Amino acid sequence: MKARVTVMPKQGVLDPQGKAIAHALANLGYDAVHDVRAGKVIELDLTETDPDKAKAQAEDMARKLLANTVIESFRVEVSPA
């Protein structure tokens, strides 16, 4: 199975990367941008074939390594490889 882990800063947590991108976009003349949030996406190619088990594995990996759960939240989507 393929598991896609999307990690974003939690609401209310300062997002310097998002701010920097917003600033750069404004400098390029894009003035229709209200807000920008930047995060990570990690695509895992897992040998597990059961979707529920694959999702549980990816969530465990996210909690232990991929996301800093103090300041980040994550979402896991699984799909056939």
Contact footprint for a copy of itself (CB under 8 A): 6, 8, 18, 21, 24-25, 28, 30, 32-48, 57, 61, 64-66
Report whether 80 contacts 1 (CB < 8 A).
yes
Q: Which is nearer to a copy of itself, 16 or 34 (CB)?
A: 34
Q: Which is nearer to a copy of itself, 57 or 78 (CB)?
A: 57
Q: Residue 36's closest CA among 50, 55, 21?
A: 21
First to last CA, the chain: 5
Residue 69 CB, shortest distance to a copy of itself, in Å, is 15
